[in-house]
Amino acid sequence: MLSKNWLTEKHIDFEYKKYVLLAYLKEVHDKFEANYLYPSLSELIAHYRQILSIKENKQNLKDAFPQRLQKLDMERLILSYEKIMEDDALMAELETIIDFSIPQFKLQLSEGKKIYDFVEGNLSIYPIGVMPLYPEQGYMFIKNGNADTAVYEYQITIFEQPDEKYRGIHTTYVRSYGKSFTNTYEFIKIDLIRGNQKLPNPATFVIESELTLPMEQTLLPIAKRALVKNTFFCKYEL
């Protein structure tokens, strides 16, 4: 895992930061090779956005550094601080690190997105039974290759940004149903209704993957986003 403040903490040295970054990206690459997308993909996006923001606003870079107390005005009760970093050579070193790091992050993000798109493109999503008037809560059946059918209860909530609305999805694992002639999707839905009368006619969706993937690290996160995107046609943050 790469620290949020990796750019400004410890040694400000290109070779050192290069080593730290490439070691982290090697770990991410190895996880992607094994089809483990999360949480690495989310972390990469956050690091990439942060370093782009710093590059666009150099003042952010200076503000990221710690300060030390310079003087104390007892009469006016004012504390004066000075920046520890004022060296132009040090700023130049940081800019070199930033310019090296951005394409490295971008390259690894591209690899992660390819895996994400491939997995999402190989998912089948469809409803089971009659859809209720309130589809924001119900069940999601996930078929991971030839594994048992994993059932999750889901709830979709809306949260607002200054200029637009987003939907988030929360899931809770319920149980798994083994493969058999009787355990059809329709039977599973009926069985769930019998056990939870708070949802007498739940929205129920099947998400099938022909590929066998890590559930928590890859299939479940992508399935959740695919369900929101394909069913409710709304924006969702990765």
pLDDT single digits (tens) 200-218: 889 999 999 999 999 999 9
pLDDT at 54: 85
Say whether pLDDT at 174 is over 90.
yes
Q: What integer is the mean pLDDT of 205-234?
A: 87
User: Does residue 139 contact residue 203 with C-beta atoms inside 8 Å?
Assistant: yes
SS3 label, residue 4: coil
- pLDDT for residue 60: 58
Distance between CA 43 and CA 218 in Å, rounded?
14
* pLDDT category of residue 233 using cuts at 50, 70 and 90: very low
Say how far apart CA 150 and CA 173 lie, in whole Å: 8
- Angle, alpha carbons 9-15-19 (nearest 5°): 75
Residue 151 CB coordination number (10 Å): 20
Phi and psi at 9, nearest 5°, equal -90, 155
This prediction has a pTM of: 0.79
pLDDT tens digit string along 87-99?
A: 567 788 888 999 9
d(CA 42, CA 187): 36
